[in-house]
Amino acid sequence: MKILDIKDLSIEFKSKAGMVHAVQNVNLWLNEGEILGVAGESGCGKTTTTLAIPRLLPKNAVITGGEILFNGEDLAAKSEKEMEAIRWKDIAVVFQGAMNALNPLKTIGNQMMEPILLHEEGVSKAEAEARVKELLEQVGIAGHRFNNYPHEFSGGMKQRVMIAMALVCRPKIIIADEPVTALDVMIQAQILELLKKLTKEYKLSMIMISHDLSVLSELCDRMAIMYAGRVVEFGDAKDVFKNPKHEYTDKLIHSLPDISGDRVFTGGIPGYPPSLIEPPAHCPFYDRCERRDDSCLGDFNFTEITPGHWTGCIHHR
Amino acid sequence: MTDNIIEIKDLHVTFEVRKKLTKKEKEAGIGNAVRAVDGVDLEFRRGEIMAVVGESGCGKTTLGKSILQLNRPSSGSIVYNGRDMGSLSKSELKELRSKLQMVFQDPYESLNPRQNVYQTLMEPLKIHRKDMPQEEKDKLIYDMMEKVGLKPVDIMSQRYPHHLSGGQRQRLAIAATMILKPEFVVADEPVSMLDVSIRAEIVRLLLDLQKSNDITYMFITHDLSLAWVLADRIAVFYLGKLMELGPADQVVHQSAHPYTSALVSVIPKVETEADDKKHVLEGETPSPLDMPEGCRFHTRCWYYKENGCPSVCREKQPELVDFGEGHCAACHFAKEVKELSK
């Protein structure tokens, strides 16, 4: 069952050089209880798309079209006041860069209790404290560290705190924006195991943003690949990884070294993504694609080619 | 005898921490010196790529900086082409600097924002090639820009760092490193800040430059799979000590140290087979101010825990043992671990 349905979403940013079409006609949905991965490189619109869901976009961003349906209601049309009731309570966010997302002047415990006391009337401070301590234990931090300040924690522990904090109001959906980037490999593995465990225990649905395809392929049920403001491929995570149906996905996967494969180094993808001020109407990967021909110059067409597997490439294998 | 460009012998680099110790801490054996590099022996063969792998704080960057004499070693020696670098005078050292170069991790911070591309590349020539005529310097700069792909040269040379993308900045940083034709380059996580598709291109560039100029690389990275593809040999560090060293393929596919095999096991894979056991280590690296006794890895070691916590691991620091073919590991149970990894 779809818990969240993004339909034809377009987002633009105002800039001095003109409107930047950061997200163009994106269609995505999140099923209940699944982990959806959104992958792509800097500037592809993955963070913009997902942060539009709790409406946490910067001031110069405008949603110019489309719907974000949650429980049958369109979040894109809601006022700031209405959104305040939904954020944290229904949809929580684990931000990138845990080191900077915590307030250095407040104890971990006080910061974590804040959303409970704000959103849930009738919950006493003692109850909130008990809930926070239990959550800290869940993410592997001793409850007595409730009164510590952020500087007393390591990077990995701060990221655990951020995850616990997202769970504090028992949300239905978690959006995790690059939750393991900038952490050491071993700590990364720990955090990923933790996320897996928590989604099961708390029956969460999660959207995970990452530029690291290999991390997503292991953790996610389904995966969306974004490029230059568009979703170019969408489907079952293992299927997308093993049988990529868009040339960009294929190239991206092959840019990663694979220790179970041959020890050869494949070069990257020459060239740069197109300017988003005047984005092309055709496939955005056209300029860098080796398989391009004149038939690619038609309007970008995102279609389902096998059940549940969507692509915007007409040369799909 | 193999031809070694750099030989490091029993190198120690210690940083003093300004901290008053309580009586309790003194009794518990906590010192106020961080042993960032703690007795390392390592040699670099001419023309090889050596990947140095490990988590933050394992001493990999400190080691690289020590080789370039950007850190003062507390003891031990670094011999470059047969000369002990510790005994060199200032002017001799300056001459050497042009032969030993470094590429930094962050192309957003390693470039001077007030210098355009041309000026950035002129800077090292001004210092190290004082006698070179201007036309020759210009030719060198434009050739270098061409080589690293900063094209068209006449337009790009006037650009400032803020005009450049992350990939272009790293190309510029590499050009500035290579313009003096170094023999030995420390590349400190040169691609970890870049996007995947750009990353592979920068690595390709580093490889091309190495081949055409016969450079020896020390490639510092936390990405074991990248190290495996690129490097001839891999050195794995943990808390300032060399844990495993050997040909890239052997280190990854026949790991002889439990730490290496844990690092290999957490590399994400699309298909996880049933017998693929992950060794996710618990907790975090211990503080280097309070190093564990015996083998410094035993507090987090899966082999130690699975095999009844043998006392030798707590009591004796393991020596680096060679299995032949230059594959060494510092573990009391290296043979057993290597068997398990196969």
Tell me, yes or no, whether A159 and A294 share the same domain: no
Walk across the sheet containing B4-16 and list its strands.
Answer: B33-45, B4-16, B75-80, B83-84
The CA distance from A279 to A228, in Å, is 8
pLDDT, tens digit, 9 for 90 and up, residues B137-159: 999 999 999 999 998 899 999 99
| pLDDT of amino acid B29 | 64
- Pair A72, A180 in one domain: yes
Q: Which two tokens stand for residue A172?
A: 């239905």
Last residue of a domain, one of A140, A170, A200: A170
Q: Does A150 share its domain with A31?
A: no
CB contact under 8 A, B281 and A241: no
* Interchain CB distance below 8 Å, B264 and A242: no
- Burial class of A22 by CB neighbour count within 10 A (0 to 12, 13 to 18, 19+): buried
Q: Which of A117, A138, A170 delimits the end of a domain?
A: A170
Q: How far is CA B195 from CA A216, A255, A273, A309, A315, in A?
A: 16, 10, 12, 25, 25
Q: What angle do CA B208, B214, B216 make, to 5 degrees?
A: 95
Structure tokens belonging to residue B282: 């618990």
What would the pLDDT profile of B268-291 be if each residue is shown by its tens digit? 876 655 456 788 888 788 888 888
Per-residue pLDDT, averaged over B236-254, amounts to 95
The region of weakest confidence among B59-68, B107-116, B216-225, B263-272 is B263-272
CATH assignment of the domain containing A305: 3.40.50.300
Give A58→chain B minimum CA distance, Å. Answer: 22
Q: Residues 6 or more apart from A27 whose CB is under 8 A from it?
A: A6, A7, A8, A9, A231, A234, A302
A242 interaction partners in chain B (CB closer than 8 Å): 270
Task: Say if A155 falls within a structural domain.
Answer: yes
Is A317 domain-assigned? no
Nearest CA-CA distance, residue B173 and chain A, Å: 19
Q: Is residue A44, in this structure, part of any structural domain at all?
A: yes
Distance of CA A25 to the CA centre of its chain: 17
**Are A273 and A233 contained in the same domain?**
yes
Q: What is the predicted pLDDT for the residue at B274? A: 47
- A84 shares its domain with A132: no
Chain B CB contacts of A212 below 8 Å? 196, 268
**What's the pLDDT score for residue B192?**
84
Above 70 in pLDDT, residue B2?
Answer: no
SS (H, E, C) chain B: CCCEEEEEEEEEEEEECCCCCCHHHHHCCCCCEEEEEEEEEEEEECCCEEEEECCCCCCHHHHHHHHCCCCCCCEEEEEECCEEHHHCCHHHHHHHHCCEEEECCCCCCCCCCCCCHHHHHHHHHHHHCCCCCHHHHHHHHHHHHHHHCCCCHHHHCCCCHHHCCHHHHHHHHHHHHHCCCCCEEEEECCCCCCCHHHHHHHHHHHHHHHHHHCCEEEEEECCHHHHHHHCCEEEEEECCEEEEEEEHHHHHHCCCCHHHHHHHHCCCCCCCCCCCCCCCCCCCCCCCCCCCCCCCCHHHCHHHHHCCCCHHHHHCCCCCEECCCCCEECCCCHHHHHHHHC
The per-residue pLDDT for range A163-182, each reduced to its tens digit, is 999 999 889 999 999 888 87
Three-state SS at A237: helix
- Whether A73 and A117 share a structural domain: no
Nearest to B179 by CA among B100, B121, B107, B110: B121
- Check CB contact under 8 Å for B197 and A215: no
pLDDT, tens digit, 9 for 90 and up, residues A43-56: 899 999 999 999 99
Answer yes or no: do A137 and A265 share one domain.
no
Question: Is A268's CB within 8 Å of B198's CB?
Answer: yes
Question: Is residue A283 a part of any domain in this protein?
Answer: yes
Distance from CA of B195 to the nearest CA of A (A): 6
Among A251-260, B215-224, B289-298, B329-338, name the one with the lowest average pLDDT.
A251-260
Kindly report the backbone phi and psi dihedral angles of residue B92, in degrees, each rounded to the nearest multiple of 5, phi listed first. Answer: -65, -40
8 Å CB contact between B234 and B248: yes
Q: Which residues contact A180 (CB under 8 A, 6 or more apart)?
A: A159, A187, A188, A191, A192, A210, A212, A215
Same domain, A178 and A150: no
- Which domain does A149 fall in, by range? 101-170
Q: Indicate whether A95 belongs to any domain.
A: no
Closest CA to A133 of A143, A125, A148: A143
A108 and A249 co-located in one domain: no
The verdict on a CB contact (< 8 Å) between B195 and A186 is: no
The C-alpha angle with vertex A96 and arms to A90 and A100, in degrees rounded to 5, equals 110
Mutate one of B270, B273, B276, B301 to test the A interface: name it (highest A CB count within 10 A).
Answer: B270
Q: What is the mean pLDDT of chain B?
A: 90
Shortest distance, CA A240 to any CA of chain B (angstroms): 10
| A259, closest residue in chain B (CA to CA) | B225
Inside any domain, residue A96: no
Whether B341 shows a pLDDT value over 90: the answer reads no
Which three-class secondary structure string do you get for A275-291? CCCCCCCCCCCHHHCCC
For the residues B205-209, what does the mean pLDDT come to?
91
Mean pLDDT of B31-58: 91
Do A188 and A243 reside in the same domain of the chain? yes
List, for chain A, all residue ranges whose pLDDT scores fall below the cut of 70: 98-99, 317
How far apart CA B15 and CA B35 sit, in angstroms, is: 7
Three-state secondary structure call for residue A189: helix
Residue B152's contacts (CB-CB under 8 Å, 6 or more residues apart) are none
A42 and A162 both lie in a single domain: no
Whether the predicted model's global pTM rises above the 0.90 cut: no
Asked whether the beta carbons of residue B55 and residue A241 sit closer than 8 angstroms, the reply is no
Residue B97 predicted with pLDDT over 60: yes
pLDDT value, residue B273: 54
Q: What is the pLDDT of residues B11-29, one digit of tens each?
A: 999 988 766 667 776 676 6
Residues A50 and A67 in one domain: yes
Residue A37 in any domain: the answer is yes
Residue ending a domain, among A143, A170, A197, is: A170
Burial of A77 (0-12, 13-18, 19+ CB in 10 A): exposed
Q: Is residue A63 part of a domain?
A: yes
Structural domains counted in chain A: 2
**A217: nearest CB among B253, B266, B270:** B270
